[in-house]
Amino acid sequence: MRNIWTIARRDFRAYFTSPIAYIVIAGFLAIMGWMFFWNLSHFNLQNLQYQQFRMGKGASITEGIIRPLFGNMNVIFLFLVPFITMRLFAEERKQHTIELLMTSPVTLTEIILGKFLSSLLLVGTMLVLTLVYPITLFLTGNPDLGPIVTSYLGTIFLTGCYLSLGILFSSMTENQIVAGALTFAAGLFFWLISWASQSAGAVWGDVLSYLSLIGHYNNFGQGIINSTDVVFYLSFIGIGLFLTHRVLDSFRWR
């Protein structure tokens, strides 16, 4: 565990020695800030119109703000994760430091887990900075805590899947742009795969729906933690890291 943490700290610090982390975090917060302001303004205007025409209370904070906010956040991470992961192994291969890394007194599993943890720490840092949004809602309203907590948890699981794909493709090439493009394409594929279930047969339709990354997030957005969704996300991450291990192991024996 010590070796994993050492590698994670080294790579996490490396993010901030280049403009990558600052650009990704700044872009993420700028987009999320605008979306939060827009959702909040739209929610207040909608409720005001409901009150004026005596049509009831309107949508709840969970339905009107929290769910759309985290839905947009997951889309943004689909675009940003390739920038986070594209350099993890691709840069090592390009600079020929991967040979030194693989001959160091650490296992290949520790290397992969350390790099995965470093990218997850960067995502975690970005999520911590968004806590200002639920804090604002609690100061000005009375939102449900459950959906907020589960939405953050679901976002971590979903982003972990993106990261596992990114690490896999970064291990396959020394070109960071190629690694980033493949990560985005694969993430988008597993995001939209459920669309094909509508034209597939009953069995294949269920399979395609089950493989949808966003499909397993829906329960989290509603404040529900389903063991099936947790197992799927953990399995997806595990398979991605396992394939990364196989790719790097084959590179070691070349």
Contacts of 199 (CB under 8 A, 6+ apart): none
> What integer pLDDT is reported at residue 173 of this predicted model?
85
Residues in the chain with pLDDT values less than 50: none
pLDDT of residue 67: 87
Q: DSSP labels for the chain? A: -HHHHHHHHHHHHHHTTSHHHHHHHHHHHHHHHHHHHHHHHHHHHHHHHHHHTT--S-S-HIIIIIHHHHHHHHHHHHHHHHHHHTTTTHHHHHTT-HHHHHTSSS-HHHHHHHHHHHHHHHHHHHHHHTTHHHHHHHHHS---HHHHHHHHHHHHHHHHHHHHHHHHHHHH-S-HHHHHHHHHHHHHHHHHGGGGGGTS-HHHHHHHHHT-TTTTTHHHHTT---HHHHHHHHHHHHHHHHHHHHHHHHHHT-
State the pLDDT at residue 238: 94
Reading the block at residue 193, the tokens are: 């795969």
Contact at 8 Å (CB) between 141 and 65? no
What total of structural domains would you count in the chain?
Answer: 1
Which residue, among 127, 120, 92, has the nearest Cα to 252 in the 3D structure? 92
Residue 59's pLDDT is: 62
The candidate with the shortest Cα–Cα distance to 129, out of 36, 60, 42, is 36
Residue-level pLDDT at 49: 66
pLDDT digits (tens, 9 = 90+) for 141-161: 788 888 899 999 999 999 999
Instruction: Quote the pLDDT of residue 127.
Output: 94
Task: Give the structural domain span for 20.
Answer: 2-252
